[in-house]
Amino acid sequence: MIRHSVIFTLKSSVDAAGVKAFFEAAHKLAAIPGVQHFESLKQVSKKNGYGFGLSMEFADEALYEQYNNHPLHVQFIQDHWLPAVAEFMEIDYLPYEQ
C-alpha cells in the first residue's frame, strides 16, 4: 500500500465558491483506476500553515504511476491545481515495518 497525499493552501483570490469548485473537481480523481480511499480533508492544526489536504491509496507503485500520467489527473493539474494552489507539500507513506 502506498498512501499518496498532498497538503496545501489555496490562493487568497479563491473564494468560498472557488474552494467548493476545486474540491468538486478534485473528487473526480477518485474515478481514476487504482485510486482507493480518496479523501478530501481540512487541515486544522495551528502548528502548520496549510489549510487543506487530499489523500488516496494505491495498491502498488505501478498504479500510482498510472494515476500520475492519467489524462484526468494531468487535466486537473492544469485546470484546477495550478490556478488555485498557493503552496503545497507532497507526502507519500508506506507502512513502516520493523
Query: What residues make contact with a second copy under the rule CB under 8 A?
Result: 2-3, 7, 20, 23-24, 39-45, 47-48, 50, 52-53, 55, 89-96, 98
The residues pairing with 3 across neighbouring beta strands, listed in sequence order, are: 57, 93
CB 75 within 8 A of CB 82: no
Q: Scanning the structure block, which residue is given the C-alpha cell 487504482?
A: 34
Residue 96 CB: number of other CB atoms within 10 A? 5
CB of 52 to a second copy, least distance (A): 7
Q: Which residues of 29-45 are buried (b: 16+ CB within 10 A; e: fewer)?
A: beebebbeebeeeeeee
Q: How far is the CB of 75 from a second copy (least distance, A)?
A: 21
